[in-house]
Amino acid sequence: MNQNFNPTGPNEVCAGDVTYCRTAEGWMYLAVVMDLYSRRIVGWHMDKRITTDLVCKALAKAYNLRQPPAGLVFHSDRGSQYTSKRFRKLLHSYKMRGSMGDVGACWDNAVVERFFGSLKHDWLYKVPQPTREHMKADVAAYMRYYNLERLHTANGDMSPVDYENTLRKVSGFS
């Protein structure tokens, strides 16, 4: 992708990554799939374990929500979950093309890393996270806020959903 995070339309390029979320009960792992056009989180999944299943479920949710055309590029890091045979088979079954950043180059997925920073610093770290269930509920609340209300400079100060809805009105995108 060469750090080109601005596709010309939705369902062209998505990016995914995993982050760690700490609770008093222990760690939770969050996998997300972001449509880079609008910065909308189109799929996500949380679990107590960081497995290939975690990223596969997030991608499946994104695919089921968006039903993208063949050829969508899915960009990630080179984590074992994304390089696994199972994940590559899933990409192939969805007719998606895989893209991976260089080893150890966090800026190759800077948009998703920025999302994780906002999630943690603007939301999760502001209240105690006593249980894994509390964490899941808090992350779900942030996803709604992020997609529906949070303004993005990359979207002309619109939320991801409003930005996509504006495109629908102008071009008939569905």
Domain annotation covers residue 7: no
Domain annotation covers residue 96: yes
Domain annotation covers residue 120: no
The confidence score (pLDDT) of residue 102 equals: 74
38 with 164: CB under 8 angstroms? yes
In this structure, what token pair is assigned to residue 173?
């995108």
Averaged pLDDT, groups of 10, the chain, 174 residues long: 73 96 97 97 98 98 97 95 98 96 72 95 96 98 98 94 84 56
The confidence score (pLDDT) of residue 1 equals: 45
The confidence score (pLDDT) of residue 106 equals: 59
Domain annotation covers residue 161: yes
Domain annotation covers residue 99: yes
Return the CATH number at 78. 3.30.420.10
Alpha-carbon distance of 164 to 65, in angstroms, equals 14
Residue range 112-133, pLDDT digits in tens: 999 999 999 999 999 999 999 9
User: What is the three-class DSSP state of 131?
Assistant: coil
- Count of domains in the chain? 1
The whole domain housing 51 covers 13-115+128-171
Residue range 1-23, pLDDT digits in tens: 455 668 999 999 999 999 999 99
Domain annotation covers residue 1: no
Alpha-carbon distance of 6 to 143, in angstroms, equals 21
The confidence score (pLDDT) of residue 105 equals: 62
The confidence score (pLDDT) of residue 172 equals: 56
The candidate with the shortest Cα–Cα distance to 49, out of 128, 132, 109, 111, is 132
Residue 109 CA: distances (Å) to CA of 70, 104, 113, 127, 132: 22, 11, 6, 27, 27
